[in-house]
Structure 1
């Protein structure tokens, strides 16, 4: 396919409704390239890190390399954990030290065989994360042989977990890197450097990001800041387009903002929050969606969990299982994600219905307790009357 049809000199209004060129790259080609990259990266190394290639996961890589020196990085999305575990088992040296960072499997069955194979190859497997884990999944991962540490998703990012879990004095600039990464990952928005880290991790190659933050921590060098300034011209335009497409929907007690487009979801969510949204849904051209909450809505992971996803109370992601062929994607692009919006908003309605049922159940319990108390009072009064007679 001619790449100029997707990422060429298109008006941003059209570019923003299409996925990037990587979406159109066949999976088998991508898997073959990832196999080759993993085999090369794992050759002769003593430590490997399977990590989400966002700022949090890559901060963990920088910290681990400070401790162990050379460490192979296998950039991995949440839906590719089993693939990376399998590659470590296949290409890693016997006795390799393995870390898994900033990743959470939705079900243990997705990774059971691959984790078993990796545990069989590695001398140790340590897993650091801060997402919302199902208790049974966490217990199964531990029983399989991994040393799993899950931080409080309201308090820590995965880099924080790595800092406190590793038995060595992490350099001050990397401890600060973890703190600034947390500021963005938990959507605190108190340190302006956190947006720089998030954008740099998105626009740079993972190895380039790790190299820079390993040396500079959260204080990115001037040439990187200049690079970010150039990239943000288009970024801001894409954000503006997504915000203009946004709508506010009233679902029970919540106002939910919903929009579509290739954009930076956090800034779009913030704009919809300023317009009155308690929660925001940003549907992407590739079919996935980001769900962002506020103090008024801290159940994003529950919404995402209904539509093939997961995450945190105030930040989650999903990709509804509704795309069977390219015609479905064509419909997705031309309708600006209509079906995806509908199924995610329906998940919000399910939460509302659950709340109503719980409230009705509590009300019935209170009425039963009150009636029980009245009956006991009547019985006691009857007993007293009998004594008086």
Structure 2
């Protein structure tokens, strides 16, 4: 296949909006081999490994841990940023996931699947605290690689990642615990009680924050035995502002966009040097990238439809875009919940105060997350013909599957409410 057929950076906006990024077309075996090599290089001589979702929240965790361990700083030169190539604005994770311009989007297979530059080079300067990017769907692979390539007695941190089931990480966590001096797991997503207990029983120090009150950086900030300066307290607070979609501090959008668009290693070192007040050369870069971001948002909003499901209005659309802004636009049109289906096959689900069951909807279609923010990738793609249909129909099958999940969840919620009401009536009698 000719390279130009899969290079999405030069596509027209209308085509870029409906097709996945270059990384989608890379074989998993190639990506796995490169990740293996990069992990081995990053861990050489490292005393600490941080497996983290490479969005603003996960990377803030890395910055905090490097500060606590007095790790060397490696500040990029401004002219390096000027030479950065343009990519597209999509979920990361989501590392995968939508690793996301959303830290809160769980269990979404996107990452390399939607980015234009999916394969990053290792950090140029070795760190005592190694950054190992991972997604909710490959955290077990990252654990296995650290167990294999990490030095005996290494400290391992897992940040901003939550497994759906313990069996997905059971063997890999056991291997990591054999290699490591300690494994600490800091997160703020929705965990099943049985999964959390199993991780703790295995020997990991698991701390889960309240997903309505804290981001993962908050959890790391309060859990480490270290006196952080005001800059890091502010970093956690502004990261939380975006991660919980509070949007009270305009700097939080800058952090989220910069984390998504730049190399994870660069983001960590820039916020360690400058904190949340990013330097001019970074804000200029963000402003330039946002021109295309806004255009892709407009494309997705223009395709949006509203559906009535069990008394709720659900907005649904398709396209490569920043999902939170698109969801907000559908909310303004009257949606109680929104679905943004992506060209790579994944979807973002966003709720409101009126609808807080997003994680249950996602759970029915191979995903999970928060009550008001979740992600999924329905298991409906058997071959490339299914993906071709997905692109040409603007996600018709995926939309139908997710809307069916909405109906099931709403019906179940109504039945539970009716049963609870009947129990109350019976008690009164």
User: Shorter-chain TM-score category?
Assistant: over 0.9
RMSD value over aligned CA atoms?
Answer: 1.1
Is 1:263 paired with 2:321?
yes
Partner Cα separation in structure 2 for residue 64 and residue 8 of structure 1: 34
Q: Is it true that 1:2 corresponds to 2:60 in the alignment?
A: no
Shift of residue 181, structure 1, vs aligned partner: 0.6
Residues of 1 paired with 2:155 and 2:267: CA distance?
22
Relative distance call for 1:3 and 1:16 in structure 2 (3 A) is farther
Give the aligned partner of residue 174 of structure 1. Answer: 232
Q: Aligned equivalents of 2:143 and 2:309: distance in 1? A: 41
State how far apart, in whole Å, the 1-side matches of 2:208 and 2:421 are.
36
Deviation at 1:366, TM superposition (A): 4.5
Q: Name which of structure 1's ranges 350-359 and 128-137 shifts more when overlaid on structure 2.
A: 350-359
Aligned to 1:251: 309
Secondary structure at the residue paired with 2:137? helix
Q: Tell me, in whole angstroms, the C-alpha distance in 1 between the residues paired with 2:306 and 2:369.
A: 23
Determine the structure 1 residue equivalent to 2:53.
Answer: 52
Q: How many Å separate the matches in 1 of 2:189 and 2:398? A: 23
Aligned to 2:18: 17
Question: What SS class does the counterpart of residue 140 from structure 1 fall into?
Answer: helix
- The alpha-carbon deviation at position 308 of structure 1 amounts to 0.9
- Give the 5 Å matches for 1:200-239: 200-239=258-297
Q: State the distance in 2 between where 1:357 and 1:267 align.
A: 33
Q: Is 1:148 the equivalent of 2:206? A: yes
Q: Does 1:28 align with 2:43?
A: no
Displacement of 1:71 in angstroms is 0.5
Aligned-pair CA distance for 1:352: 1.4
1:65 corresponds in structure 2 to: 66
1:358 aligns with 2:416: yes
Measured after TM superposition, the shift of residue 288 of structure 1 is 0.6
Tell whether the 8 Å contact from 1:3 to 1:21 is kept in structure 2 after alignment.
no
CA distance in 1, matches of 2:2, 2:266: 28
Alpha-carbon distance between aligned partners in 1 of 2:2 and 2:344, rounded to the nearest angstrom: 18
Q: Distance in 2 between matches of 1:87 and 1:32?
A: 11
Distance 2:229 2:238 in 1: 15
Q: CA offset at residue 367 of structure 1? A: 4.7
Residue 149 (structure 2) aligned to one of 68, 77, 91: 91
Change (3 A) 1:341 1:67: same
Distance in 1 (CA, whole Å) between partners of 2:183 and 2:423 is: 47
What TM-score, normalized to structure 2?
0.85
Deviation at 1:365, TM superposition (A): 3.1
Q: What is the CA deviation profile of residues 87-145 of structure 1, one whole-angstrom value per residue up to 9, with x for unaligned ones?
A: 11100000000000000000100010000000000000000000000000000001111
Counterpart residue number, 2:298: 240
Question: Which one of 60, 74, 77 corresponds to residue 132 of structure 2?
Answer: 74
CA distance in 1, matches of 2:257, 2:315: 23
In 1, distance between residues paired with 2:9 and 2:313?
A: 37
Q: CA deviation at 1:363?
A: 4.1
Aligned-pair CA distance for 1:355? 2.2
SS at match of 2:307: strand
State the 1:201 CA deviation.
0.7
Structure richer in helix, relative to its length: 1
Query: Partner of 1:263: helix, strand, or coil?
Result: coil
CA distance in 2, matches of 1:108, 1:330: 34
SS in 2 for 1:100: strand
- Larger displacement relative to structure 2 (194-203 or 295-304): 295-304
Who wins on radius of gyration, i.e. which is larger?
1
1: CA distance, partners of 2:187 / 2:2 = 40
Q: Secondary structure at the match of 1:78?
A: coil
**Length, aligned pairs only:** 371
Q: Secondary structure at the match of 1:169?
A: coil
Paired position in structure 2 for 1:165 = 223
1:177 Cα deviation (Å)?
Answer: 0.7
- The Cα shift of 1:3 comes to 3.9
Q: Give ranges in structure 2 of 5+ residues lacking alignment.
A: 72-127
- In the other structure, the counterpart of 1:119 is 177
Whether 1:183 and 2:241 are equivalent positions in the alignment is yes
Show the counterpart of 1:292: 350
